[in-house]
Structure 1
């Protein structure tokens, strides 16, 4: 028996808004429908969710998944920093071991020099001259003493420098450990954010019945088509004539070969991807490493005009650079959309474009 679906959807939207604190000020949703009178059929008194209800759900889901995408970038960034910091700690540990071994050898040499000086009695040069039967032998010995003193001075200086290097390596390693620990906390915090947003979105979708989920999917598709049509109506496609480079072709081939694989936040393949995991791995397969996250890709890669983009370029979406797709030509991108979706092809203008970046700027078309 059908219960008050419109009311349930409205309540679900309201609860999710309260949980995630994402609803815009002044946003209002329909009041829950009153319960049916005793003995009355719920389906006879409670209407199905209207398109307006589902549009509110669609907009809310979009905000939730975008918030999850931002948190995913935070998670991926923390993961990348942790990898670099771990590698730096290993490098410093090796330098500390080598430095300690060198310090031990220098101490042995310094000890041997001190023992030799002790065996010489520590007599002043004048005494050695008076005790020597051969003045030339004394002069030769004096020269060796000067050389030895100079070597000892150099040895002590090297010993001091090695000790200072070890202290610096230890301080650097400690700083990297602190950064690593801070990164772990940031990663855990981002993971909680992701899980919270996805859980809220799933809770909202679970309030829909099959027919309503199908209608919601059609609303999402229609919104994307309308955005793409608006983008194409500017005539932009007539201006985009760039051809893919050899590396760009390889990157596009890799990305399109992943079509149908599921989205999973933090994933870099080969079984699942998030949006920047797909683009970074596609370019890695083409022999060019690029930043891991969409925000870092936007910050660090060379920016090009939309009219100049070519297959293989990355289209960055939304004002916070929280999503990325790879341009494949004919006004389309391949991308990993969001949880619950698979890698797919979409219109390049179906989402708000922030800009375009090029992983291989120095390569001729």
Structure 2
């Protein structure tokens, strides 16, 4: 294991090496992009960031956006500039990338194993404020020992099981038992609970989601009562929340901090979630993938350069055509490097035509690309690195 504050070299992709770097600043860059290319509409991105920040501000809840959605230091900085309290990360690798980029306050939302991952996280904790979620006494004791070795104190949360059975202390008694172990360790600082009800995030029906949020709130209340004796006069923090269930979870009043992430980019799968019963997504999509037609000989069909390696989907959802193809056309990745456009009767596309697609699932789709092309209309204003790709 490396020493305090030292890390093995991580290759950094240089934006100057991006295939479309020569187009930065060009007013007609959109039409000239080398594809496939991951795009973000800057004005929509900034509006989404501001809108979620405003929602949380009105509710008196801190916003700590989840950077696993974009893995991009530049987007993280925009979220902090808009008022975010810090950032969430999902993996030790993401924590290292964002800490080395100078982001001062991170929360790792995943539990982790004692051993190499724990030691890596303890090193990261020498570079920034890194809060960690725990659900096992042995992990807490091992983390405390690693913190003592480095001469630091690490803030921690008790991770509460919320219904997915992925991780978390199972109920108030387990919460109290783990809190007691943490309280005995001088090198750990108990801050509260992590209570992420991820099973609600893609619940399509707003009423059912509301009932689920009420059940989650009751579980959180009981866990917070169990935790309080170990917190002294400090009010326990409660962090959680998701883009899909944010309306109901904010209304529950139990959270002090929100950790949603996809709202900034959005995707087809979240478009299918009705957040408030209005029948509309709460946030428009800022993210898309641009592809080009490479062949159009078959009647009613066209082939593009955007295949299965360019899109990720959790539920088999297809990309949605945003622009560049006739109304009524549909899209599906049909092989590793090719996609198929199915056209309405009489419609045609030609080789070279540019098509832009909303992605099925933003987080893992971003992880397939080295760069994000930042667009304002037809102009390419910047290229941002996907800094934590693969981390």
Tell me, yes or no, whether TM beats 0.5.
no
Q: Which has the higher helix share?
A: 1
TM-score of Structure 1 vs Structure 2, range by shorter chain: under 0.3
What TM-score, normalized to structure 2? 0.18
Which of the pair has the greater relative contact order for Cα pairs under 8 Å at 6+ separation?
2
